Amino acid sequence: MISVEEARARIIAGLTPVGLETVALAAAHGRVLGAPVAARVAHPPADVSAMDGYAVRAEDAVAGARLRVIGAAPAGHPFAGSVAAGEAVRLFTGSFVPEGADTILIQENATAEAEGLVVNEAPVRGRHIRPAGQDFAVGDALLPAGKRLAVRDVGLAAAANHPWLTVFRRPRVAILATGDEISLPGEAVGVGGIVNSNSAMLAAFVAACGGEAVVLPAAGDDVAAIAAAAEAARGADFLVTTGGASVGAHDFMQEGLGRQGFALDFWKIAMRPGKPLIFGHVGAMPVLGLPGNPVSAYVCAVLFLAPALASMAGLAAAGPVFEAARLRGSLPANDLREDYLRATLEWDGGWVAAPFARQDSAMLTPLARADALLRRPPFQAALADGAEIEIIRLAL
Amino acid sequence: MISVEEARARIIAGLTPVGLETVALAAAHGRVLGAPVAARVAHPPADVSAMDGYAVRAEDAVAGARLRVIGAAPAGHPFAGSVAAGEAVRLFTGSFVPEGADTILIQENATAEAEGLVVNEAPVRGRHIRPAGQDFAVGDALLPAGKRLAVRDVGLAAAANHPWLTVFRRPRVAILATGDEISLPGEAVGVGGIVNSNSAMLAAFVAACGGEAVVLPAAGDDVAAIAAAAEAARGADFLVTTGGASVGAHDFMQEGLGRQGFALDFWKIAMRPGKPLIFGHVGAMPVLGLPGNPVSAYVCAVLFLAPALASMAGLAAAGPVFEAARLRGSLPANDLREDYLRATLEWDGGWVAAPFARQDSAMLTPLARADALLRRPPFQAALADGAEIEIIRLAL
């Protein structure tokens, strides 16, 4: 048995980011940039007014002065001429500031009369003008490669005049559930059978991590069926299997994948749940064999599949984020396996984590209700109520 | 000018959840349940073994005893007979426990010999058996209506044998950018023009909040064009406009929407950025008029559009979540407008928020780099370095 950390490192070690593709800006949210985005235009494109008011020369706009309004420049319609002594041009938010003007007289501080514009309060020179390129100039580096695009980044790329972006394509992850006992949700459940919850859950997990899930038809506990499925998975960037944890089934899995040239990297991790995790390769394709119990499969997905997907998607292959919390209740000493307990969280000036009394790796209801996984290192001593612990908050 | 809280309450007040639709389980992640999910099957469906080993009668399985293995029951293939005195049946994880047996002898504690199975260590009665329905029984309420489906919930619904789920359909949000000055990203920018970043950003925002964005062709500062766009938006659940903040443009907006029977609810909010926000209705369709400056539009989307989308999508219409933080640097006293400063965050035993020196509402680069909005209530006194403040962490 190897440690969780070693397992994660070995899974990540051989991964490389997938290739690039071009997507429309409108489809880019959540994607990972494959090339930096630089500004194609300046923002603002010229000196613009930040307020509704008048473009004036500061030296003219003293309190009580009367200015001649020589035109208007609504946003999108710059004033063609220039502002000379004693003149003003009507502007609105976003209007280009005409030549000759250096100051904005906001409309609240002026009175438009038939004989001209009266300055009620002298403006501060240059105030309320956004200079050209204040936000960014042409060529400025705005977004780096490897960044997952947030909503705001989409706005920034739009403002920089990019209709297309280069992103890492979504890693294709084939998902293979195995076992004679499983049926698809909604199908008749055979005698001794159980509904396969892993494929749908893992497909959602893969999609949520930016991948493209390909759910393969499930394979029974049959060497030829598993070999055929592994063959069908060729072309995927990654193969995730579930099941094969039990002694007999494990042999089917190893033998079935073996017919496709499966090279085992490791089997069994010192963790709970998730001990019977398998990792290896069929040709160049990594194969992560998750346990069949859905809680084990989910916990292993959080610890191993999510970082693998991040790595393939072009992101830094960060492991899960651990946060500090305090334990509610007490726990006995831990054994040689790193433990990931399902827990609820409450905020009380800091996180307080209450692990469920029953930590069975087949139980989905407490998993669905959990807010966090509570990590216990191997051989951790017994913990009393209030002890400092580490948690992973569950977002998926 | 009304307060941020009053504005949010008035926007939410008239909203009702959109209708329901049926989606495949495989498409249900992130959707909001429109009907509760109850278990169609029990989980586990029968008493099953949690380990690889042997089904035995506890009274027989004393240390040193020799048992007769009468068959095997791999997962999916239950043993048809019953376990009598002195007998054992080979089981694997997930195997149904045959009649007559009440205990699992795990394989590590037994030796299979030609003459029979030797018990090396007596098992605890009932241990390693997952009783039928331990996770859930037929009819158990598993997921309530109004819950946004996490990855784990998809797994739970699958295990409960649901291939289809009833969810709230995605609220259709029409997005209308206005202004003579704007062009689409990648198109030629006219003289005095600027690239429209709001539509792409808001479309991503709507999608991220579970809505379906319909980006309408932009309308110039022209009453007829705005009226036509408002007409084209009919059938949407909600219309978001941008621009129309400046005095002249505002008139176009009011007049253009007015031709479609726009009924104004309120205009202008005591906040910065975002003061010129408009809200009203065209027929039954709510219309939220966001400012044209992208930072203002984004901040107003966080404060008003996200709760509106949640409400329409069937979720509780919670406002933004405020968290406590400490201020890095100092801030002068605030005026009558509630302020939302863009800030970066650092963790130092708690969040420390450093507002950007420049808070211009047209600047997208600091917005993209911000981790949070720092909220300042109206008339808040000057704040010194380290003062307690409220933040909204930005996820989108």
Q: What are phi and psi of B262, to 5 degrees?
A: -60, 125
3-class DSSP assignment, residue A376: strand
Q: Which tokens belong to B275?
A: 């003061």
Beta carbons of B159 and B34 less than 8 angstroms apart: no
What amino acid is encoded at A143 in this protein? L
What residues have CB less than 8 Å from B188, skipping those under 6 apart? Answer: none
How far is B158 from A318, CA to CA, in rounded Å?
A: 30
Which residues from B are below 8 Å from A292, CB to CB? 93-94
3-class DSSP assignment, residue B347: strand
With tokens 């429209």, the residue in question is B196
What residues have CB less than 8 Å from B321, skipping those under 6 apart? Answer: B392, B393
Residue of chain A whose Cα is closest to the Cα of B29: A204
- Look at B136 and A365 and tell me if their CB atoms are within 8 Å: yes
Of B76, B160, B208, Cβ closest to residue A192: B76
Using left for φ > 0, alpha for ψ between -120 and 50, and beta otherwise, residue A45 falls in alpha
Identify the CATH homologous superfamily for domain B20-43+135-168. Answer: Molybdopterin biosynthesis moea protein, domain 2 (3.90.105.10)
A23 to chain B nearest CA, in Å? Answer: 13
Residues of chain B predicted below pLDDT 70: 245-250, 317
Judge: domain B4-17+170-312, CATH 1.10.1760.20. Answer: no
State the pLDDT confidence band at A249, using cuts at 50, 70 and 90: low
State the pLDDT confidence band at A47, using cuts at 50, 70 and 90: very high
Judge: domain A21-43+141-168, CATH 3.20.110.20. Answer: no
Which residues from B are below 8 Å from A131, CB to CB? none
Query: Residue A78, preceding bond cis, omega within 30 degrees?
Result: no
pLDDT above 70 covers a percentage of chain A that reads: 98
pLDDT digits over A341-366, tens only?
Answer: 999 999 998 899 999 999 998 899 99
B344 to chain A nearest CA, in Å? Answer: 14
Q: CA-CA distances (angstroms) from residue B323 to A50, A161, B326, B375, B393?
A: 31, 35, 10, 10, 8
Q: Where in chain A is the domain with CATH 3.90.105.10?
A: 21-43+141-168
| Best of A47, A151, A212, A305 to mutate (most B CBs within 10 Å, chain B) | A151
Q: Where are the alpha helices (DSSP H) in A240-282?
A: 247-258
Q: Where in chain B is the domain with CATH 2.40.340.10?
A: 323-393
How far is A225 from A233, CA to CA, in rounded Å?
A: 12
How far is B44 from B36, CA to CA, in rounded Å?
A: 21
Considering only residues A256 and A382, tell me which one the structure prediction assigns the higher pLDDT. A382
Beta bridge partners of A147: none
A97 to chain B nearest CA, in Å? Answer: 10
Q: Where in chain B is the domain with CATH 3.90.105.10?
A: 20-43+135-168
B197 to chain A nearest CA, in Å? Answer: 5
Beta carbons of A287 and A253 less than 8 angstroms apart: no
What residues have CB less than 8 Å from A55, skipping those under 6 apart? Answer: A49, A73, A79, A83, A88, A89, A91, A95, A97, A98, A101, A103, A104, A105
Considering only residues B166 and A221, tell me which one the structure prediction assigns the higher pLDDT. B166
pLDDT digits over A280-292, tens only?
Answer: 999 999 999 999 9
Q: Which tokens belong to A265?
A: 């990297």
Beta carbons of B389 and B352 less than 8 angstroms apart: no
With tokens 């001429």, the residue in question is A81
State the pLDDT confidence band at A387, using cuts at 50, 70 and 90: very high
Q: Which tokens belong to B123?
A: 């098992």
Of A45, A187, A220, Cβ closest to residue B194: A45
How far is B388 from B384, CA to CA, in rounded Å?
A: 9
Question: Which ipTM was obtained for this model?
Answer: 0.94
Identify the CATH homologous superfamily for domain B323-393. Answer: MoeA, C-terminal, domain IV (2.40.340.10)
Beta strand extents in A34-86 (DSSP E only):
37-38, 48-49, 53-56, 66-73
pLDDT digits over A151-190, tens only?
Answer: 999 999 999 999 999 999 999 999 999 999 999 999 999 8
The CB density around residue A322, as the number of other CB atoms within 10 Å, is: 13
Query: Taking Cα atoms as reference points, which of A238, A273, A239, A267 lies closest to residue A251?
Result: A267
The CB density around residue A263, as the number of other CB atoms within 10 Å, is: 11
Sign of the alpha-carbon torsion through A257, A261, A265, A266: positive
Identify the CATH homologous superfamily for domain A4-17+170-313. Answer: MoaB/Mog-like domain (3.40.980.10)
- Look at A74 and B193 and tell me if their CB atoms are within 8 Å: no
3-class DSSP assignment, residue A94: coil
pLDDT recorded at residue B317: 66
| Best of A152, A175, A300, A348 to mutate (most B CBs within 10 Å, chain B) | A152
A316, pLDDT greater than 90: no
A263 to chain B nearest CA, in Å? Answer: 25
Query: Taking Cα atoms as reference points, which of A46, A65, A47 lies closest to residue A104?
Result: A47
**B214-238 b/e with 16+ CB inside 10 Å = b?**
bbbebbbbebebbbbbbebbeebbb
Q: Which tokens belong to A307?
A: 């970082």
- Look at B368 and A150 and tell me if their CB atoms are within 8 Å: yes
pLDDT recorded at residue A248: 61
Of B41, B179, B368, Cβ closest to residue A195: B41
Give the DSSP letter of residue A99.
Answer: B
Average pLDDT over residues A6-14: 95
How far is A272 from A3, CA to CA, in rounded Å?
A: 11
Query: Residue B377, preceding bond cis, omega within 30 degrees?
Result: no
How far is A124 from A56, CA to CA, in rounded Å?
A: 11
Which residues from B are below 8 Å from A203, CB to CB? 26
pLDDT recorded at residue A246: 60
pLDDT recorded at residue B221: 87
pLDDT recorded at residue A167: 98
Query: Taking Cα atoms as reference points, which of B230, B281, B226, B229 lies closest to residue B248?
Result: B226
Average pLDDT over residues A58-82: 94
Q: Residue A300 is inside which H or E element, if any?
A: helix A294-300
Q: CA-CA distances (angstroms) from residue B133 to A193, A343, B311?
A: 14, 21, 35
Q: Which tokens belong to B106?
A: 């795990």
Residue of chain A whose Cα is closest to the Cα of B42: A194
Pairing of strands A116-119, A66-73: antiparallel
Q: What CATH topology corresponds to A48-130?
A: Molybdopterin biosynthesis moeA protein; domain 3 (2.170.190)
With tokens 């007289």, the residue in question is A105
State the pLDDT confidence band at A318, using cuts at 50, 70 and 90: confident
| Best of B195, B198, B373 to mutate (most A CBs within 10 Å, chain A) | B195
The pTM score is 0.94
Q: Which tokens belong to A61?
A: 């706009």
Of B26, B215, B221, Cβ closest to residue A200: B26
Beta carbons of B325 and B374 less than 8 angstroms apart: yes
pLDDT recorded at residue A215: 97
Which residues from A are below 8 Å from B201, CB to CB? 151-152, 154-155, 158
Query: Residue A366, preceding bond cis, omega within 30 degrees?
Result: no
Beta carbons of B365 and B344 less than 8 angstroms apart: no
What residues have CB less than 8 Å from A234, skipping those under 6 apart? Answer: A282, A283, A285
Q: Where in chain B is the domain with CATH 2.170.190.11?
A: 48-130
Q: What are phi and psi of B205, to 5 degrees?
A: -65, -45
Query: Taking Cα atoms as reference points, which of A98, A317, A30 lies closest to residue B208?
Result: A30
A285 to chain B nearest CA, in Å? Answer: 25
Residue of chain A whose Cα is closest to the Cα of B365: A135
Query: Taking Cα atoms as reference points, which of A309, A322, A310, A329 lies closest to residue A386?
Result: A329
